[in-house]
Amino acid sequence: MDWIKSINNALEYIETNLTEEIDYSKLAQAACCSEYHFSRMFSSMAGITLSEYIRRRRLTEAAFELQKTGIHIIDVAVRYNYDSADSFTRAFKKLHGIKPSEARKKGTMLKAYPRMSFQLSIIGVKEMDYRIENLDFELRIAGKKKTVKTRMAARVISELWGEAKENGFLKTLIDMSWEKPQCKMEGILGICGKDSDIRDEEFEYFMGARYQGEVPGDMETLLIPPSSWAVFPNVIDAWKRIYSEWLPASGYQLGNLPCIENFLTPGHQPENELWVPVITGYMEVKG
């Protein structure tokens, strides 16, 4: 399948650039998708993050060089993009359990992480629940936006919600979101960027709630036009599987709107949902 070939093209790019600065935008381009989506798809299929895979491959090759050559440790560190011998030594010891200087000793046990490749295999044994929602009205969302580096999105977004809980902003959104509910997107919302295909190094993560009243002065308003959505229970599981399983199988195209994480009221099952904009061809807008 073309998407498997694209992922392997990206892996080839990594291998040919282990001793260079890896350009994540070029890596995503090789995979024929956005940087944001490629990172999520890779993690879901490989079981480790993209950055961790690159780290393991570099340190594997570094160990081979230390064993086979008389190259100085600092030169190996620089070759594999470490700023100093100390940072290289810490990373090397974390992976291999020994210092780089000990890697040259005969009989020393090291870890090797071979190059990955993806092949067509049977997946989808576990079913994916989803529904299609056609919202024929404009969504008016009040909240605040934060700039997030694409490469660090998963960690940073989690930290943002932790901060919102501590400073009271989350409580404010809760009070707003459960006032006069009008549709199924009635929880606390996390809007990811401007469209479903994030290609920039940074994007705006909008933390808000649907609200029809007067917006507080320290917040702003985001408007999303009438649109169709594929809705998946369990945000974390959905992010892992929609790009590697659901999209290739469904034939749907992504719409030019952001994906939305919807965190629902206590006791609701599921507790959260991922809303993914799709083009269905059946949308009827009332006017």
Cα 145 to chain centroid distance, Å, stands at: 18
Q: What is the pTM of this model?
A: 0.61
In a domain, 59, yes or no: yes
Of 86, 102, 118, which closes a domain?
Answer: 102
Structure tokens at 5: 């070939």
Reply yes or no on whether the pLDDT at 19 is more than 90: yes
pLDDT one-digit tens code per residue, 226-285: 999 999 998 888 887 777 678 766 767 788 899 999 998 777 788 899 999 988 754 443
Non-local CB neighbours of 223 within 8 Å, separated by 6+ positions: 138, 139, 140, 141
pLDDT of 119 reads 61
Asked if 137 and 257 sit in the same domain, the reply is yes
Reply yes or no on whether the pLDDT at 121 is more than 60: no
Sequential DSSP letters for 138-160: -EEEEEEEEEEEGGGHHHHHHHH
Question: Which residue, chain included where needed, has tokens 């359990």?
Answer: 97
Asked if 145 and 274 sit in the same domain, the reply is yes
Non-local CB neighbours of 147 within 8 Å, separated by 6+ positions: 202, 203, 204, 205
Reply yes or no on whether the pLDDT at 187 is more than 50: yes
d(CA 232, CA 229): 10
Asked if 155 and 86 sit in the same domain, the reply is no
In a domain, 185, yes or no: yes
Reply yes or no on whether the pLDDT at 100 is more than 90: yes
Asked if 182 and 84 sit in the same domain, the reply is no
pLDDT of 178 reads 59
Asked if 68 and 195 sit in the same domain, the reply is no
205 lies in which domain range?
Answer: 131-279
User: Bridge-partner residues for 275, per DSSP?
Assistant: 231, 260
∠ CA 269-191-237, nearest 5°, is: 45
In a domain, 187, yes or no: yes
Q: How many CB atoms lie within 10 A of CB 284?
A: 8
CATH number at residue 30: 1.10.10.60
pLDDT of 137 reads 87
Percent of the chain, pLDDT > 70? 87
56 phi-psi bin (left φ>0, alpha ψ -120 to 50, beta other): alpha
pLDDT of 285 reads 37
In a domain, 66, yes or no: yes
Reply yes or no on whether the pLDDT at 27 is more than 70: yes
Q: Maximum CA pair distance of the chain?
A: 77
pLDDT one-digit tens code per residue, 130-174: 888 888 888 899 999 999 887 788 889 999 999 999 999 999 998
What DSSP character marks residue 259? E
Per-chain mean pLDDT for the chain: 83
Asked if 268 and 153 sit in the same domain, the reply is yes
pLDDT of 44 reads 66
Asked if 13 and 152 sit in the same domain, the reply is no
Query: In a 10 Å sphere around its CB, with 0-12 CB exposed, 13-18 middle and 19+ buried, how is residue 133 labelled?
Result: middle
- Count structural domains, the chain: 2
In a domain, 122, yes or no: no
